[in-house]
Amino acid sequence: MNKKIGFYFLLAVNFALVIFIAFLIIRKEHFKNLVPFISQGEKLPEIVFIDESNQTLNTKQYQERPILLFVFERPCSTCTKNIVFWNKLYELANKKAYVFGVIQDLSDMFEIAKIKKIPFKLMSPANFDVFKKKWRVHLNLSQTYLIYKNKVKLINVGAIGADDMKEIFSMLNELEAK
């Protein structure tokens, strides 16, 4: 008797799971907002940024080459560690891609650039709350994005290392060949 109950219980759980997955597929737009980070392959919502010289930049302006985007804030231990790798990525990739750093607070921008000797352009979202919501950014972790034609080709959350750099550079070479 207990085997029959167990069988029916598992059957009911599987049926409920299939119904739930079907519901999520139907409600894809709603579901994507539940995912904690923007996903690889996902199209990015347009965002306006302000750079160090108070110029506005729009993500739609940069379609012809890939974009490497480093998102961070202060204080952030992985961000501090990643700056070394990000600077190296900039040296290797600035001819193949646009390279930008995104920081939450404009007032931190100049201090960070000076202290960490950041060679890439820093910018801040014109409306940080919109950026955080639309891109589902979590600033307690650094994020490295490779974007091409307004789609996420790669996202790395947290600390990056030499293997991550190789993967990013390999993807840049593939995109350049297209």
pLDDT score of 16 more than 70: yes
100/115 Cα distance (integer angstroms): 17
pLDDT, mean of residues 135-146: 78
- Quick check: 135 pLDDT over 70? yes
- Residue with the bigger pLDDT between 110 and 162: it is 162
* C-alpha torsion angle, residues 48, 128, 118, 172 (rounded to 10): -60
Tell me how far apart the alpha carbons of residues 140 and 81 are, in angstroms, rounded to a whole number.
Answer: 14
Res 52: pLDDT: 77
Same domain? 15 vs 55: no
pLDDT of residue 90: 92
For residues 8-31, average pLDDT? 65
The answer, yes or no, to whether residue 61 has pLDDT greater than 60, is yes
Domain that holds residue 6: 1-34
Please tell me the distance from the alpha carbon of residue 7 to that of residue 114, in angstroms, as a whole number: 65
Name the one residue in this structure whose structure tokens are 């204080």: 75
- H or E element at residue 123: strand 121-125
Task: Judge if 43 and 29 occupy the same domain.
Answer: no
Residues 123 and 52: beta-carbon distance below 8 Å: yes
Q: How far apart are CA 137 and CA 73, in angstroms?
A: 11
| 26 shares its domain with 82 | no
Same-domain check for residues 102 and 167: yes
Give me the pLDDT at residue 66, please: 92
Specify the higher pLDDT residue, 172 or 7: 172
Q: Are 133 and 45 in the same domain?
A: yes
- pLDDT(69) > 60: yes
Tally of structural domains, the chain: 2
